[in-house]
Chain A
């Protein structure tokens, strides 16, 4: 196997291993951390007392 072919294979196989592992780890962490336990609370997490649900936050300037 010449060096160029080896480099290509190393990159492809290395990427598959790296990204496969990263995806599994991320998903596992999310489950353990309870990220998917209360989806309604998750959906509301971008709101706060200053920009509450029910209050639009953008308009054309006057």
Chain B
């Protein structure tokens, strides 16, 4: 009997069925992480608005101690850094690793334990801070009973990503996998060491802020950045149907980031009471970051060349490309900010706040929104219920972060110039900043409106309100 001919159509259906099976294997835990992250984004947005309004209207909510500026801002930071970005990072790592390894997720239910531990930890962190239990350690301000939840939850995710990699059927390790593997290896170590040296066996004196800023900068650089850049390296080629312009550059960029990013944290302590060689070495590392950033920037731009018209048609691409452009911008800015002459003006001002938000929101969050718009329909098997809400989300987020960045960058720069001038009274600086704070609130309202639209879309999709798709640009194959 002659063997059955393998036709292109047969190949296509078999590959689609394999991809659908992989998506189905990780559907539960990834959706759990994604939905939890969206919830914490809403909580973080509300807390951000409270804190922002207080900057220009100081008597707002004065009767409620839980919402004093210090507590609301700290709680906002925990909700968005630990709750929102970290939960998307973990969910995205699991989903992309399964797809890139072409293997199904094993024991998916155990990842629900990880997600629950993380949610409990975040809840304790946010509520603990609002009730007055916050610690005066930037980014690590959660009460000391929270870290064990995060370490346990993170350990499970890292182990599952490693186990998925071990079981891979695709022999080639794509650049996104390099980034993900590095992130799930680096971050548990980074977090555990920071907590150990600040809370469990506290280092003394100036070593504490050194550890603190080493952690803070690397939270973005060795946790969020690798996964967000890796996500862009997966989504942009997949969406436009074109391989990366230069795979060689992408690999070079990864190894350059691995080599230089971890040096950069000490530039936050320029002018502080730390050894001069430490901040100088950090400045060198920060400037060396031009290498991976230029590599990524060239690669993303050249991959998109002649395909920019697709931004009109693809929501995921629109968010991802915005995030990729913001990555280049914020990284260049970060390298320049690490120079001591520049720091003389920009340090300890709202210029740094604008920079941090361009990184965490304009770059990381925008790419993660793109990930949602691509990933969720493939997991639920349903399209998004409303194009209009997606457009509302995009424009509110894009215009919001632009207003935020421009308003605080200009205000922060002049704040720094005035602070360096001993003839300018402090009160004048506060009065000068007021309109800039107002622009921050307007931007915050816009972004929050976008987040509500995004959350509504997610709830509708999870509730099965979207149209079921079996073909077209989003190619689903139902399992038989």
Could you say which of B173, B239, B383, B387 has the most chain A C-beta atoms within 10 Å of its C-beta? B173
- In this complex, the interface size class of chain A, counting residues with CB under 8 Å from chain B, is 35 or more
Instruction: Give Cα distance in the complex from A7 to B196, angstroms.
Output: 9
Question: What 0/1 readout, one digit per residue, does chain A (26-62) give for beta carbons within 8 Å of chain B?
Answer: 0100100001100111111111111111111111111
Q: How far is the CB of B181 from chain A (nearest CB, A)?
A: 8
Docked-complex contact A42 and B174, CB < 8 angstroms: yes
Find chain B residues with CB under 8 A from A45 CB: 100, 170, 172, 174
Q: A30-B173, A59-B473, A61-B466 given as contacts; is B237 within 8 A of A46 (CB)?
A: yes
Which among B189, B238, B251 is the interface contact of A46 at CB below 8 angstroms?
Answer: B238
Instruction: Give Cα distance in the complex from A61 to B317, angstroms.
Output: 14
Find chain A residues with CB under 8 A from B234 CB: 46
Docked-complex contact A56 and B237, CB < 8 angstroms: no
Q: A4-B201, A50-B12, A58-B474 given as contacts; is B255 within 8 A of A27 (CB)?
A: yes
Which among A44, A48, A56 is the interface contact of B239 at CB below 8 angstroms?
Answer: A56
B14 beta carbon closer than 8 Å to chain A: yes
Q: A11-B193, A56-B239, A58-B314 given as contacts; is B12 within 8 A of A49 (CB)?
A: yes
A17 beta carbon closer than 8 Å to chain B: no
Instruction: Give Cα distance in the complex from A19 to B262, angstroms.
Output: 11
Instruction: Give Cα distance in the complex from A47 to B314, angstroms.
Output: 18
Closest to A2 in B: B204
Docked-complex contact B193 and A42, CB < 8 angstroms: no
Docked-complex contact A59 and B201, CB < 8 angstroms: no
Q: How far is the CB of A23 from chain B (nearest CB, A)?
A: 7
B207 beta carbon closer than 8 Å to chain A: yes
Find chain B residues with CB under 8 A from A62 CB: 383, 387, 467
Docked-complex contact B255 and A53, CB < 8 angstroms: no
Docked-complex contact B258 and A56, CB < 8 angstroms: no
**Interface-lining segment among B116-124, B240-248, B433-441:** B240-248
Find chain B residues with CB under 8 A from A36 CB: 251
Docked-complex contact A43 and B243, CB < 8 angstroms: yes
Closest to B317 in A: A58
Find chain A residues with CB under 8 A from B384 CB: 61
Closest to A60 in B: B387
Instruction: Give Cα distance in the complex from A57 to B201, angstroms.
Output: 51
Binding site for A on B (CB under 8 A): 8, 11-16, 19, 100, 170, 172-176, 185, 189, 193, 196-197, 201-204, 207, 234, 237-244, 247-248, 250-251, 255, 258, 310, 313-317, 373-374, 383-387, 390, 466-467, 472-475, 477
Identify 20 residue pairs between A and B in the complex whose beta-carbon atoms are under 8 Å apart, listed by A's number.
A4-B204, A11-B197, A36-B251, A39-B247, A45-B170, A45-B174, A46-B238, A49-B12, A50-B12, A50-B13, A51-B475, A54-B242, A56-B239, A57-B473, A58-B315, A58-B473, A59-B314, A60-B314, A60-B387, A61-B467
**A-B contacts besides A50-B19, A53-B241, A58-B473, 13 pairs, CB < 8 Å:** A5-B204, A18-B189, A43-B244, A43-B247, A45-B100, A45-B174, A46-B243, A47-B238, A48-B15, A50-B12, A50-B13, A51-B238, A57-B475
Binding site for B on A (CB under 8 A): 4-5, 7-8, 11, 15, 18-19, 22-23, 27, 30, 35-36, 39-62
